[in-house]
Amino acid sequence: MTKRSPLALAVLALLEEAPMHPYRMAQLITLRGKDKVINVSQRASLYSTIERLARDEMIRVSEVERDGQRPERSVYEITDAGRATAQNWLTEMLSVPKRGFPDFYAALAHAPILTPEVLQKLLVDRRELVAAEVAALRDEISSVCAFLPTIVWLDAELMCRTRATELDFIDDVLAQLISGTMAWTKESLAALSLANEPKP
């Protein structure tokens, strides 16, 4: 059975709209801005996902396009099994929160090995990038909300709000670092660790 993934779901969802060839799928994912939530940067990933879905009979070749000098292109369509799988995946993905392990969380968990000054500099750098991303997402949403229904850009809205929350968090941490209310040394952390070691 094909392993559930955002890319596999995207292929099934696109083929639910209409039969199409892989190049068109990649085009639409990018054109619609879904490449922010679905990784299509490696073309090989898309083709291997399509192969797995075809092997598991969730999609099938509906026709082979021949256009002059161009290589033949297989056009795929979704099967009933593919429709049922897409519905099952969506049901689980929308209703059951999945715990992730983001890099930023892991880095924050180990931030005490840095000095407060180094952490402050790194968070200032990150803040600049996150603020730019939030601004770009807000612009993108503003440009489409007048003519596209909300359901089409829910993913962008969630991403924007999540990033905006991260921005607020970074601002709070930076304020504490700058004011000195969040401070530590290797020695103070070593003493804390020693004091809290479980007794044998």
pLDDT in tens, 95-131: 999 888 999 999 999 999 999 999 999 999 999 999 9
Is residue 44 domain-shared with residue 90, that is, in the same domain?
yes
Please say which residue of 95, 117, 148 terminates a domain. Answer: 95
**In terms of domains, do 11 and 43 share one?**
yes
Which pLDDT tens digit goes with each residue over 36-66?
899 888 888 999 999 999 999 999 999 987 7
Rg over CA atoms, the chain: 23
Tell whether 70 is covered by a domain. Answer: yes
**Residue 154 pLDDT exceeds 90:** yes
Are both 189 and 137 inside the same structural domain? yes
Domain endpoint, select from 66, 95, 124 = 95
Domain that holds residue 36: 6-95
- Of 34, 67, 95, the residue that ends a domain is 95
Residue 1 placed within a domain: no
Could you tell me if 13 and 65 lie in one domain? yes
Give the confidence band of 196 by pLDDT, cuts at 50, 70, 90: confident
Q: Are residues 82 and 108 in the same domain?
A: no
Cβ 79 vs Cβ 57: under 8 Å = yes
User: Quick check: 123 and 181 in contact, CB under 8 A?
Assistant: no
| 107 & 57 share domain | no
In the prediction, which pLDDT does 105 show? 96
Residue 158 lies in a domain: yes
| Nearest-angstrom CA–CA distance, 184 and 117 | 11
Task: Say whether both 143 and 189 belong to one domain.
Answer: yes
Structural domains in the chain (count):
2
